[in-house]
Amino acid sequence: MSPMVPHLDLESLGWTGDLDRQFTPLAAQGLEPGRVALEHMHIYRVLAGQGQVLARLAGRLRHGATSAIDYPAVGDWVALGFRPGEARASIHAILPRRSRFSRKVPGDQTQEQVVAANIDTVFLATGLDDNYNLRRIERYLVTAWESGAQPVVLLTKADLCGDADARRREAEGVSAGAPVLVTSARRGEGLGALGPYLTPGA
């Protein structure tokens, strides 16, 4: 039995009026919205209005899937059917994705697997120490832009860098308009700039 977290506020998870309108025909079928928080072997931990539940795919959705991309991923909004008195549910539909991060299915050269969906902002974090690599930042930026999410380059450990401003300017040169933030957790520097990206529902 999955633990219940009563009266979960879906808006804090990113539920919007547009999603509410999309969900109207599904609500008419007695289904409820939820957001996938974890997936393991096609068992899903979903955050729903009534709390946290475990869910599996309904038969029609499972049999209609033609590839890995048709299965729910972390971040997906889904339509849940509940049985009275149970903390388990069935996933009957996946709402359209605003963004998605995907990879090739292990061992398959062509099939795509979605690993996260509906991400608004993605932090590309790299330390300004021996881990710093501009070419890697460029590669990650390509993946982030292709996903549909807004990338933010986060240069950490500024206290270990002799010229953090020069590194910031260097990263801005390849960021294609993505913000570049410089932080030092040890010194508490630059952390306030993260605030706008960490608000509920963002």
For position 202, what pLDDT does the model report?
58
* Beta-bridge mates of residue 100: 117
Q: What is the pLDDT along the chain (202 residues), one digit of tens a residue?
A: 344 445 578 998 999 999 999 999 999 999 999 999 999 988 999 999 888 999 999 999 999 988 888 999 999 999 999 977 777 899 999 999 999 998 776 666 667 888 899 999 999 999 999 889 999 999 999 999 999 999 999 999 999 999 999 999 999 999 999 999 999 999 999 999 999 998 876 5
For position 3, what pLDDT does the model report?
43
Both tokens of 15, joined, read 């539920």
For position 56, what pLDDT does the model report?
96
Contact (Cβ atoms closer than 8 angstroms) between residue 179 and residue 152: yes
Closest CA to 186 of 166, 160, 168: 160
For position 68, what pLDDT does the model report?
85
In angstroms, the CA 70 to CA 182 distance is 38
For position 66, what pLDDT does the model report?
87
In angstroms, the CA 122 to CA 137 distance is 13
Contact (Cβ atoms closer than 8 angstroms) between residue 100 and residue 116: yes
For position 198, what pLDDT does the model report?
87
Residue with the two structure tokens 């570049």: 180
